[in-house]
Amino acid sequence: MSSDPVILACLGTVCHEDLQLFEQVTMVCDGQDGIECQLCIGKHFIFFISRGMDKLVKGAEKLSYLDIDKAISDTATNILFILELNRQRDATWTNGTRLMVQSEHRELLLERIGICWQAEVMYRNFEVRKFQQAKAAIATLLPGVQKMMHNSIDLLQVTPFKGYDKEDFVYRGYGFWLREGFKSVSGLKDGLFQNDLGWETSYDGEVVVVPAGMVIMVHVDDEQQIMEVDEGSTGMDDLRTVAMEYQRSLTQNLDQFYVVVSGPYMKRMNRNGGAAAWEGWEFFIRSKEFAFACVIFRRLYIPPLCTTSQDLAVVMRCPASELDQDACEVLLDECRFVADSMSSTCMSKNIYPIMLQARLDALQFTENGYRHTEGQLSLAPQIKQRAAVKFVKSIVQLLDEAGALQDETLINAEVFAGIPIMNDPIMVAQELLSDAEAMFGSSIGEGTREERRNAYYWRLSRYLAYCVDGGILGERFNLVLVVQAIGRGSMETDIILK
């Protein structure tokens, strides 16, 4: 599921309506064969667009929210749900009274459908009603399900350890494990949980008593485009800066405190086998009144498009009056464990390769993003196949002719086989810019042609710099070697390199 504005705009041209999000799903109408399509959430309708994104699904073009009676989630899997439809005369849906959907993001998708349904009821009928949802074991009861699930393997459920609550605690699309005795403080979905009993555990061969009054706060920020975070001027692209903001907010009302632990942290669990990358930071603060343990994560390259990131945090607060050194270590370990157990409630393992490749070809990734997509997904911009390699080979040839190349075998590297050489490497960038002129369109609409051209040229320059800095040859050739070579060759070579 994604709310990528570019993809939504393309899908919107098919259904002629503004869309909020989309997901590639398989749907079954009243026992018929499954249809793979794009399920798109609009203001007044749910649209079903073909996988090729060029037309509406014949016979199942759109479904009004008012045609939905209730939703039923399957208890045997995490991916199936049914929409029970009504039979009103003016109903826009004519393809049966039951629609089954296989979705990797079932909970989030149903939540959004419920919000749109309530808004539509208020807008059309001037009523305030709750969207009806139920749960049932539907995977083995309905015709067509077995055929739909034939090649689909639902994830095995990893159950919590002994001493922890049997069910996952869930907040904003993420599940995590808490010890028995933790309960929501307000009864609302606010990510705040408290243990009024405390517990005993062993540490380093000694019994440690964790006092009552332990509070755990879970924060989940909204997803953001990685490129926007990277280009921001607030410094939040560095997770350490985010951690410092958390430290400041926790200690601003404390008279005296000291930071015991502060450093990078590596997540140790991947309960649902997700394809996203994780960065982490942890810190521990002691004061006279409280002790704070905190683990902050940044989830990067979130499927299905791998263009977004999301910040998450687990903050643990404990009364400090009865804490000793061992108890502090136990608190930090407990905070780490809760953070490690965090996983998306969605089965977000699959990517949308066609859409992702289009993003890569538009060079809308950071340097680390290119490394991730190539290393983990074996996807790279099409220009890398020849143009980027030609650019790097031309620079290597310049340094070789000037005698400034430390490894003289680089020019004969396997990746350079059959690749021509340009006397001036910058001509490669000029050729790529000329080939992309058709993408810039006219000056009508948002932004001018020149602005779009300059933005692409900036992304192209950044990508070619990444290719020089190890993107093609790894540690054998990077920008450090290029900078060191300046001044060792002729003046003409230095001018080209600069």
Q: Report pLDDT digits (tens) over 48-74.
A: 998 888 899 888 888 889 889 999 988
Which residues have a Cβ under 8 Å from the Cβ of 116 and sit 6 or more positions away?
20, 41, 42, 43, 65
pLDDT (average), residues 437-462: 77
DSSP-derived 3-state class of residue 491: helix
Among 64, 60, 80, smallest CA distance to 72 is for 80
- The class (CATH top level) of 169-344 is alpha beta
* β pairing state of 68-74 and 132-136: parallel
Highest mean pLDDT among 171-185, 345-359, 427-441: 171-185
Alpha-carbon distances, residue 174 vs 326, 341, 430, 490 (angstroms): 30, 10, 46, 59
- Dmax over CA atoms of the chain, in Å, equals 83
Q: What is the pLDDT of residues 478-495, one digit of tens each?
A: 888 777 777 666 666 666
Report whether pLDDT(459) > 70: yes
**Chain centroid to CA 390: how far?**
33
- Among the residue ranges 76-85, 295-304, 342-351, the one predicted with the least confidence is 342-351
DSSP-derived 3-state class of residue 73: strand
Q: pLDDT band for 31, please (50, 70, 90 cuts).
A: low
pLDDT value at residue 420: 86
pLDDT (average), residues 399-417: 80
Query: CA torsion angle for 465, 468, 470, 474 (degrees, to 10)?
Result: 160
Among 97, 80, 89, smallest CA distance to 27 is for 80
Q: What is the pLDDT of residues 223-260, one digit of tens each?
A: 999 988 888 777 788 899 999 999 999 999 888 999 99
Q: Which amino acid is at 226?
A: I
The helix, strand and coil proportions of the chain, stated in percent and rounded to the nearest 5, come to 35, 25, 40
Among 166, 171, 201, smallest CA distance to 184 is for 171
Report whether pLDDT(167) > 60: yes
Q: What is the pLDDT of residues 198-220, one digit of tens each?
A: 888 888 888 888 888 899 999 99
Report whether pLDDT(178) > 90: yes
pLDDT (average), residues 336-356: 87
β partners of residue 40: 22, 47
Report whether pLDDT(338) > 70: yes
Cα end-to-end distance, the chain, whole Å? 44
Q: What is the CATH number of domain 5-148?
A: 2.30.29.30
- The encoded tokens of residue 458 equal 């900036």
Question: How do the domains of the chain map onto residue ranges?
Answer: 5-148, 169-344, 378-497
Report whether pLDDT(101) > 60: yes
Alpha-carbon distances, residue 398 vs 200, 324, 485 (angstroms): 68, 64, 10
pLDDT value at residue 143: 54
Share of the chain above pLDDT 70, in %: 91
Q: What is the mean pLDDT of the chain?
A: 85
| CA–CA separation, 52 and 38 (whole Å) | 9
Report whether pLDDT(444) > 80: no
